[in-house]
Structure formats: C-alpha cells, structure tokens
Structure 1
Amino acid sequence: MKIKNIILTLALLSLGLSTESAFAQSSQGSNSRNSQQITENILLKPDALIDGEYVTLGDIFSGIDPQQADIAVAHAPQPGKQVVLDYRWLYGIAQRHNVTWRPRTTADQVVVTRASQTITIDEIRDAVEIALIDHGIRQPFTVDLSSENFQIHLPVDALNDVTVSGIEVNSRTQRFVASVTTGEQTAQQRTYRISGKYYPLSTVPVLVEPVSRGHIIRPDQVEYRDFRTERVPSNAIRDINDVIGKEVIRPTNPNEPMMFRDLTSPILVRRGSLVIIRLVTANMSLTARGKALENGSKGDVIRVINQTSNKTIQVEVVAENEVRALPAMSQ
C-alpha cells in the first residue's frame, strides 16, 4: 500500500514538472516571437538624404516611436558630401537609445547624403571675369581656371551667391589668384582660393561651312569668331569685308582664321569679253558697249575699246562685265 502511494506521488510530481517546463518554454517562445515581431517592425533605411546639420534616428530607422525620430545621433557631412554608417555603429546607436533593432548581416549600412545648392564652375568663371574687368583687364578675353571640375556646395538654406572678394593679377604672365566668397556677411560665409589665367581675344572672320576652290564666298557663309590672340596668325584677315565676294583659291577649314593668300578677287571682266560702259556725271548718264583688252576684278582699272568711238579708254570694273568710265579718263 505504501509502495503504491509513493509511485502515485512520483507520477504527480513528474506531471507537474512537465507542465511547468512546457509553460516556461511556451512563455519563452512567445517572448521571442514578440521580440522578433518588434524588431521586424523597425527597419533600416539604406539611404538618407538630409538637409540639416545633424543625423537623427528618424533618418536612419523607419517604424520607430515618433518621439524618438528627431533625436540627433551624429553630425551631418558637409553639403554635397556622403558618409557611410556601418552595422557596428548602427547597432551601438540602437542599443544606446533602446531601439529594438539588430543587424542581420555585416553588410547592413546607411549612406547619408547632405543636400546642397551647387555653384558651378561657370558661375565662378563669370564672377572672376567681372573682377578682372574691374581690375583693369581690357575686353575681350577668356578665362581658364586651374580646376575645371571645381564646384562649391552650399547648405540648402544658405544665400546662393558668389563674389570675388579679392584678386591678385600678374599682367606679365596673365595669371591670377582669386578669393571666391559665398554667403558674404552671413554666418555661413566661406572663402575659397582659386587660380587661373586669362587670355586676350582677337575677333576674326571665319567660314561657317566648307567652300570649294573657285567658288565665291557669300555673306551667309562667313561670320566673326573670337580666338585667343596668341593663336591668330599675324597675317590673318581681320575684316569680314575682305572675305565676302572673294574667290577661294586654297580651301580653308571652317571655323579657322583665314589668310589673304587663301583668297583672291574674282575675275569679273575677262579679256575679249563684251562689257557695258557707264559714264555718270552730275548732268548726264551715258552707256556704251565695249570690248575688254585685259582681265579685271572689282575695283581694278583696265583698258577697253569703246565700240562707238573705236577709242581705247581706261575704266573701273564695278560688276560682272560692267565697267565705269571716269570723266577724266573718258576725255
């Protein structure tokens, strides 16, 4: 009888222990699932674009308590720059602020980019050109800066302007060093030193399209362009009127300075051709027919035979097969 009671007591104790163990495991599993569920609700933002001076918890994590979102956890990078927050740093921040997040892999990270306004190299060049003019450099000229990829990034709330607060010019070498200032007279004022060189320009006529040898250049085929003076040959044509109406004897590449040797005045009157002779004075206007005794371009003085009087006279070529008799020469 005592043995049966002992066996029964042991059985009841064993049943109680099993039930308690099962309850403990069930409770632990429930807590683990709840913790996992909480962690899954808070997600890492792989990229963060920020405007201000600080990185906040809300920039890094989504799904956190709204009251924690504005807590600053790091200084932001400089405007236009980036910084990478790795998994170790992120986990440390999460623990420090009781954020239920843990990294899943060592690749977890956040790339933080600071938004900015950009002042381009062209805007800087324009400001430098104005400063050079104020310094006394005569126009036209062009400016080359030492770094053509240089940019200035400003905070999004900064005054977007650029001025040259100082410039040092060597007129012999045509080099300069400029102090470029942004956000002048504000708390965000910054000054940058940039060097470069200016080049005086010469304006010369160029062809805008290919013109073959023997063709006459039309007004729509030529225009003015600026070139660095050092690159323009000394015998280059400077006046567009010395190009229009001229005959090409040596083809020239478009958009390049032209030489006098490349062009010639076209022959408007050829030897042996019939021409119209005009004599115009204040009191009369006469025309006659004649025969050219020599070739002539516009403005040339040539000899022709007046077929009416059969006399040889000197005339000025004014157009194709048309000449002008000067009163003194006609007499």
Structure 2
Amino acid sequence: MMMRNTLSALALALLFLLPGNLQAQEMDILLRPQAHIEGAYVTLGDLFSGLPVEQEDIAVAHAPQPGQQAVLDYRWLAGIAQRYKVAWRPRTTADQTIVIRDSQTIGMDEISDAIHGALSENGIPAPFAVDMGGETFRIELPVNAPVQLEITGININRRTGRFIADVTTGRGTAQQRTYRMSGRYFPLEQVPVLVDSVQRGDIVRPDQVEMRDVRSDRLQANVLRDPADVIGKEVRRSVNPGEPLLNRDFTAPILVKRGAIVTIRLETPNMSLTARGKALENGSAGDVIRVVNLQSNKTIQVEVTAENDVRAIPAMSQ
C-alpha cells in the first residue's frame, strides 16, 4: 500500500512538473500585439519577442500593402509557432497580432498641384483651379521607395474643362505605379470679399475687404468686382467672410433721414451762405432730395454731401 501511494505521488508531481517547464519556456517568448514593419515580409521577430537571434529574421508571410494592416489570429499564430518550433502557444482565442505596413503618403493636394502644373504646360491660361470632385484618394508608397510624382500623360477637353491624367510614382524603379485620375479645371477671377462677418445695417470699412481668387462658375451675373462698390456701403443682409458679394446686398448709407434737421449750404464764387432746413426725404451721398428752408419756408432741392449736410442747387430750387 505504501509503495502504491508513493508511485501515485510521483506521477502527480510529474504531471504538474512537465507543464510547468513548458510554461516556463513559453514565458520567455512573448507575442507582440502590434507590429510596425517597413519591408515586404513579416518575420518571426515581428510577431514574437525573446526569440533566438537566428530565428528573428525568418520571413513567415507577405506584408500588407503600404499603409494597410492585417490581423493575424490565434490559429494562424499557433500554426506558425508549431511550424518554426517557437515555444509559444495561445492563452485565449483573443490572442492576435495586428501587422501595420508603414508607408509614405502622397495626398490629393500634391496630386492636384502636379496636375495643375501639367495643365499649365499644356497651355491652360492662369489663374485656374483644379477640382478632383472631392476625391479623398491618396497614394501609399513603401518607406524605401523614392517619393517621385509625375504626370506621364494628360487628355484635356478645353470646351468642358475636363481632363484625364496619368499619375505615375517611382518611375523607372521596381515600385513604379500609374494611376488614372479625372477632374475639371475652372478659370479664376479676382473679386472683393469680406474678411469679417457683417450684419445688416453695418457700414463696410476698408480693412474689412480684400481681393480673392474665386472660381468663375461660382460667380453670379450681379457679383461685385470693384472694392469701391463695397467700401463705405451699408449692408442689407448678413454676409459671411469669403463669400462673393452681390450688388443687391449693399446700398449707399442713408446720411439724411426724412424729418431730420439739416444744414443747407449755398456756395458761389463770391459768397458762402448756410441755413437750416427740414428733410422731406431720405437721402444718401449724391442723392438729390427736397428740404424745407426753415427761414423762408420754401421747398428747395439739394444734394446730400454728408450726414445731415446738404448743398443747395439754385437752378433746381423751387
């Protein structure tokens, strides 16, 4: 009986001892939850830490495309570990590694600039804007690839402004790729815009106006093109900064309001007289309105020159 108990104890000890040794070995090899790589292959060293030096550079899979990522789950990782005799095994079904391929990015701004240059070289007169239709496309290149961008071909419809361009990267190298892209170009026109928000009734100051290039297809027929048509004018409705300005949105400010007491000035080469009057109409600078001379009680016509200030016009007086 004592011998049987002893053998059972030894068997139980061995049962715990063997997994313990295996677990101790596995503790030296750790799974990397995320791996950033630059090359075209995923290596054992990208997936596991604590490997012998001779195993780290063993390629085990193709890398994702530049700028892309791939998720390697516990089954795939367990198979790789078994195949290459890596002392690791998944603890749970949630074990995974996210492999991210690093890249160099060429965005739409750079692509549009290159196409703009090609259009200019093909005789499209400046200034003009290139519209890629809200495209969010971008080119992802390997980190070791030359960042070269060329327009290797372009078709232009000058009647509609449409074009088709061949955009080539890495020309003359193993990483050469060509992308066909389409869009439109639009002539630009300089028009005055506001740099500040204005509200109805505001008078526009010179420092609130600047000239800016705007696509001609976005300009209405009654758009203002001269800053002088905006500065000093009264705003008829709220206008946002950067908007093309329309003639109907502005008016000359009222300098004389109906019923206001005004100073009437009569100036000739030989004399200068002033009198007080009462306005019968509203008037802006340069408007001819009627006022009553409060001294003679006569109605005369005058020209508005400033706020509550008018100039008598003898030939038009009644």
- What range is the shorter-chain TM-score in? 0.7 to 0.9
**In structure 2, C-alpha distance between the alignment counterparts of 1:267 and 1:30, rounded to whole Å:** 100
**In structure 2, C-alpha distance between the alignment counterparts of 1:259 and 1:153, rounded to whole Å:** 44
1:136-183 CA-to-partner distances (Å, cap 9, x unmatched) read 222333222145221111112222342322221212222211212222
Q: How does 1:145-224 map to 2 (within 5 A)?
A: 145-146=132-133, 148-207=135-194, 208-213=196-201, 215-224=202-211
Q: Which residue of 1 aligns with 2:92?
A: 105
Q: Which residue of 2 aligns with 1:251?
A: 237
TM-aligned CA deviation for residue 288 of structure 1: 6.5
Is residue 76 of structure 2 the alignment partner of residue 89 of structure 1?
Answer: yes
Aligned AA (1:63): G
TM-aligned CA deviation for residue 81 of structure 1: 0.7
Q: Equivalent pairs: percent with the same residue?
A: 53
Largest Rg, 1 or 2: 1
Q: Which residue of 1 aligns with 2:51?
A: 64
TM-aligned CA deviation for residue 82 of structure 1: 1.0
The CA RMSD measured in Å over matched residues stands at 4.2
**In structure 2, C-alpha distance between the alignment counterparts of 1:71 and 1:97, rounded to whole Å:** 9
TM-score, scaled to structure 1: 0.74
Give SS of 1:68's match: helix
Confirm or deny: 8 A CA contact 1:206 1:254 kept in the other structure.
no
TM-aligned CA deviation for residue 290 of structure 1: 7.7
**In structure 2, C-alpha distance between the alignment counterparts of 1:269 and 1:47, rounded to whole Å:** 75
TM-aligned CA deviation for residue 55 of structure 1: 0.8
Residues 226 and 147 of structure 1: is their aligned pair in 2 closer, same or farther, counting only changes over 3 Å? Answer: closer
Residue-pair matches, total:
305
Q: Which residue of 2 aligns with 1:230?
A: 217
Give SS of 1:244's match: coil
* Unpaired segments ≥5 residues, structure 2: 291-300, 314-318
Aligned AA (1:209): S
TM-aligned CA deviation for residue 27 of structure 1: 5.0
* Unpaired segments ≥5 residues, structure 1: 1-10, 304-313, 326-331
Aligned AA (1:253): V
Q: 1:260 aligns with which of 243, 247, 269?
A: 247
Q: Which residue of 1 aligns with 2:33?
A: 46
Q: Which residue of 2 aligns with 1:140?
A: 127
TM-aligned CA deviation for residue 203 of structure 1: 2.6
**In structure 1, C-alpha distance between the alignment counterparts of 2:128 and 2:33, rounded to whole Å:** 49
TM-aligned CA deviation for residue 108 of structure 1: 2.4
